[in-house]
Structures are given as structure tokens and as C-alpha cells.
A and B are shown apart, each in its own frame.
Chain A
Amino acid sequence: NAGVTQTPKFRILKIGQSMTLQCTQDMNHNYMYWYRQDPGMGLKLIYYSVGAGITDKGEVPNGYNVSRSTTEDFPLRLELAAPSQTSVYFCASSTPPPRGGNQPQHFGDGTRLSIL
């Protein structure tokens, strides 16, 4: 199992450009998440999905869009890149809780995005 795979690992964008951050998981997890982590800070939830065809906003969704056409893939799109979106982006996945308890999230290696 590769786990959660994110591409690209690094990217530099110009203001106003658009791009898609890719995330795929091979653990058959229904739940997937996108976070951003600014330097020296914690993780903030951008969007999440509980299954194919279902997405919803997290804490900081403005400037981003997502889609979930398959269980495996959960791409994050930036339409008009702004300097405030310079950050490290982490994708994560988890399985729905079995009876009696929640499950941990598994993270990808992150995409380091700079917007100049």
C-alpha cells in the first residue's frame, strides 16, 4: 500500500494562475480531507468528503474547490492564486468509525506551494 499520495511535492505559481493539487489513496477510505498548514502553525481544514460525489466546506474554503468522482481521488483546485494561499497543503484520509470508536487520519507528504 502506498497510503496517501500527493502530487506535486513543490510548486511555484504566479498570482492569478490556477492549478490542481492531486491526492489519491489506496486504502479504500471513504473520508478524505484537505488541510493547509502555514509556517509555524497548525492545520486548518479546507474541504472534506465523506464519499464519492459528496463534498463540503471546512474552516477555510474560500479560493478553493474540490471534487470527488471516485473513492480514491480528491483533487483540490486553486482558481486564482493569491499570495495568501502560500502554504503547505496536506491531504488525509480515514475510514468511517466502526462500532465503538473513531479512526485516525492518514496524511500524505504534502505539497509546498508558493505564490509570487
Chain B
Amino acid sequence: GENVEQHPSTLSVQEGDSAVIKCTYSDSASNYFPWYKQELGKRPQLIIDIRSNVGEKKDQRIAVTLNKTAKHFSLHITETQPEDSAVYFCAAIDPGGYQKVTFGTGTKLQVIP
């Protein structure tokens, strides 16, 4: 089955700096890669996603890149703000069957004011 590895597990950055979170996946059949943000005590919420036919996608301060050959994808947050502090999960979705989602183990991002 699919295996998603996520690094780093914790990340501290100064406000205004950039943050990068990296994920690798094992199943080349996976073709959809969402990123979720989970604030303390809250539900995971989709912040950005990328499909396998696209190499990069941006949404304001957030961008995701995908390298299908190397089977890795990354989340980039620029000009970080204290409200970006949360746990971020990457995920890979197998297109077959029931859209099986395999989540990474999460990255706890702390933005220091």
C-alpha cells in the first residue's frame, strides 16, 4: 500500500520567514495530493491541493510543488504569520476504489513573532 513520509516533524520560523514542509510517497498510482492545516483542537482543513498533471500551484502565500519522477511534493509558506502556527498534514490519494487517503505524520509549525 501507499506510504507517505513527512519531514520535518517540527519547524520553528521567525515571523516573515518562509517555511517548507516535504513529503514523499511510494505508490506511483497516487495522483492527488492535498494539504491540510489543523489548528489546536480543530478539524483538519484543506488549504491547497495539487493533481499529478501539474507541477506547481500557488494560492497567495501558499504554494505546493510536485515531482512525480522523484515521488515527492512540498508545501511552501512565504511571509509566515503567527496565525500560520498549526499542524500541517500532507496526503496522497490512490485514484482506485474509494479514494483511499494516506496521510503523513504531520509537521508542527511554530511561527515566532
Interface check A94, CB cutoff 8 A? yes
Q: Is A101's CB under 8 angstroms from B43's CB? A: no
> Per a CB cutoff under 8 Å, which of A45, A48, A101, A107 touches B45?
A107
- A102 touches which of B31, B43, B89 (Cβ 8 Å): B31
Work out how many contacts link A and B, with CB atoms closer than 8 A.
52
Size bin of chain A's contact surface? 20 to 34
A43 touches B32 (CB 8 A): no
**CB-based contact B99/A103 at 8 Å:** yes
Is the pair B106, A41 in contact by a Cβ cutoff of 8 Å?
A: yes
Does B42 lie within 8 Å of A102, measured CB to CB? no
Contact (A107, B43) CB under 8 Å given A42-B105, A42-B106, A96-B99:
yes
Is A50's beta carbon under 8 Å from chain B? Answer: yes
Residue positions of B touching A, CB distance < 8 A = 31-32, 34, 42-46, 49, 51, 89, 93, 95, 97-101, 103-106
